[in-house]
Chains A and B, each alone.
Chain A
Amino acid sequence: MLSRLVVNTAFFLHTYHPYQRSKIFFYNLLENQHYQHKKYFDIFMMGLIFLSVYILIRSVKHELPHGWLIFNNYVISLIFFIEYLLRFWLYSSNSKAIIEQYESDLFLHRPFSFSSALKTIFTQKMEYVFSPTAMIDLLAIMPFFHEFRLLRIFILFRVLKLFRYAKSLRRLISILSSKKFEILTLIVFTMIMIMVSSVLIYVMEANNPESKINTLFDAVYWSVVTIFTVGYGDLVPVTHGGRIVAMMIIVSGIAVISFATSIVVSAFTEKLDEIKEEKMIDSVHALTRMYLVCGFSPLAHEVIRKLHKRHIPIVILEKDPNKVQQARNNGLLALSYDSGSLHTYSHLKLDFEHQVEAVILLHESDVANIYTALTIRELTKNITLYSVLHHPANRKKLFLAGMNHIVNTHELVGMMSKIIARQPVAFEVIHTLRSEQTSTIVDEIILDADMKDRFYALLADSLFYQRFSVLGIYSTREKVFHFNPHPDMNIEPGDIAIVIANRGLIDEFRTKLHRRGKL
């Protein structure tokens, strides 16, 4: 009867959306590094920690208002306690453990073992309780019991909680943890050194009335101060034997310091690329809009150089580390990832719909471009894909793979050859306009219906007359280009005027076009 009730409750919770939604919300807030609002929560918690430490320091020599102590001892502790409980709840799913046990028993034709499910739940929760971070969390709540004066010192455990909220501190821990074995060896070596030197100095100095090293504690204190090359000088050996021990310890101390330094430096050196990669992924994730360029070829380099004028960030995905390095040397944001792999996009957590303006496929082979296009199309149908086509025979395949726009350099050169041979000046004019090599450019101006009168009036204005050419207006509704439009021509919202003029003059035209009131 109880088992049935437990299983039913577990299934209910597992499928109850408000419950699952709240669980996801708290998971995002506490654990998901990519959740956009997590940083505010982290900043809030760090603020509480610093406030707590400030109150502790201030309370040493000053009488504090009662409200401050109440806030420190109860409010902050309560917040930390709630956080602890939330993490305890999120660490493992009880309903899932019960359901898994139930389904397993059902499959094996056995009665549901509630005790086994409880055991699994208990094991999982204890795993959390005894994890170092959870223990720090628990100790940080201790100041709640402020009546025990000693427990006030547990406020300092709150400082350790900073590791939870500050990413750089977490990174430091992860770097150092990669050298666990070396650090452990160093600790053991240092402890042996301290033990041996403490005993030796105690034996040499303790019975000498002129020596200040009289107890074993004095000996240990002296050893630690000496081995770490601090040497306060409050305790010094006076016997010959003691001084010989001191010399040995000083030399060993340098070895300890060098060993420790080399461990930290090598850990950072080894993880440097990983850290850089992580930072880059973070910066990609923070982008609200971008062009995604797949493949870093010479053409890609040239395209990116031109696109930079648009001030939209560009992210490059390239498998070849040498090319990635080359891109980075040029100050570009390049990631060493295979653009044809689904894993890449799940790892980068790219939101195609909201972050990516367009994907430009510039691999040096049609095969790679098609493969990448198919991968991206599996993730989204809405993004616009641009690709270079290397062999005209593959044109249809590229379209089948979901490309929206294809550029074939061979065909372009062929078509240009025709025009360049027949009308070299005309070709030069159009090429110069498009390449934006001079101050005169060809540009698009998006129009609105209420701009009609202003648009034609501006064209007649002395500032623009003779110096501002409107090639035509493209009607987005009719999908027709109206060359050399007559002032009677109607303008609809979204119509696009194609103009040729000086860059500055086009900007001025745009400004005046959008300005209200008289010209």
Chain B
Amino acid sequence: MKPHCAAIFGYNEYSKQIVKQIRGVYENVGVFVIDEEEFLEAQNDGIVADRFDLSDNWQSIEAQFDVEGLIVFCALADDAENVFLTISLRATFDKLFIIALAQDNESMMKMKSAGADKVMPILQIAANVINDILTKPIMTQVLHDVLYEDSLLSIIEIEVKDASPLNGQYLHELHFKRDFDLILLAIVDQELATTFSFASKGHNHHIDAGDILVFMGYTEKLNAIKQWNDGVSV
């Protein structure tokens, strides 16, 4: 089930930005704070936050959200507490989609071991961006616009459906650039499913239902291939 509600743990500068960005994306966004200070800060910002502790009592979460369609952001200021929160949530909810923030690579490994689905290593992310701005400014700007801004260009990941014309074809038989004005960036083989491989590796991959393809292109073209994949004639 696609997530339709989100819970953010911790209220700090990072959480504020997460709330700001995802508010319009999910039907229900909840903020959970661990101490009084964060609670008051959220209140000052007009956000109704709920209290939680690091025990295994997650009744308030279950009461407030449909856990099957919930995405969780572990954004506590302290990495150790964040790891503990992640492992506590994973211990209780097997299928919960957990995104955790980590200060550095070391904490990132711990978050992954604790069961986070995705980890954002803050220092590495910032360092990558600064390095990119310095060394590849144009590329950085283009990718920034594609990912984060409302530009005509966008990026999309589509899952190949059973009825999709893509199902059963070989990658080299398809000409996405020519026929769809799209660039295929990567592909996730559902049989291997561990990670993605870049399209530019040149493998003549056999596309099966369940594979995920990542495209970049103009929004209208992306919508077109999405519909085509869904079996709608374009």
Interface set of A (CB-CB < 8 Å, partner B): 291, 298-299, 302-303, 305-307, 310, 358, 360, 386, 388, 391-392, 405, 407, 409-431, 433-435, 438, 440, 442-444, 466-469, 471-472, 474, 481, 483-484, 496, 498, 500-502
Contact = CB atoms under 8 A, between A and B. Distances in A.
17 contacts: A306-B130, A360-B134, A410-B13, A411-B17, A415-B21, A417-B18, A420-B118, A421-B97, A422-B25, A429-B186, A431-B128, A434-B128, A444-B136, A481-B153, A483-B181, A484-B183, A502-B200
Contacts of B135: 307, 310
Nearest to B180: A484
Interface in B190-219: 195-196, 198-202, 212, 214, 216-218
Given A426-B214, A443-B139, A469 B183 contact: yes
B122 interface: yes
B89 to A, nearest CB: 16
Nearest to B23: A418
B125 A483 contact: no
A386 B124 contact: no
A347 B181 CA distance: 57
Interface string B88-100: 0000000001010
The 3 A-B pairs of least Cβ separation, nearest first, read A414-B17, A302-B127, A467-B202
A391 B13 CA distance: 8
A499 to B, nearest CB: 9
B16 A423 contact: no
B232 interface: no
Contacts of B153: 481, 483
Contacts of B234: none
B128 A413 contact: no
Interface in B146-165: 147-148, 153, 155-157
A483 B138 contact: no
B192 to A, nearest CB: 13
Interface string B120-142: 10111111111111111011001
B73 interface: yes
B185 interface: yes
Nearest to B144: A415
B143 A418 contact: no
B143 A434 contact: yes
A48 to B, nearest CB: 48
Nearest to A357: B134
B22 A307 contact: no
A424 B118 contact: yes
B196 A501 contact: no
A358 B135 CA distance: 11
Contact of A423 (B13, B22, B155): B155
A61 B37 CA distance: 92
B142 A415 contact: no
Contact of A358 (B20, B128, B134, B185): B134
B185 A429 contact: yes
A417 B120 contact: yes
Given A421-B3, A425-B188, A496 B138 contact: yes
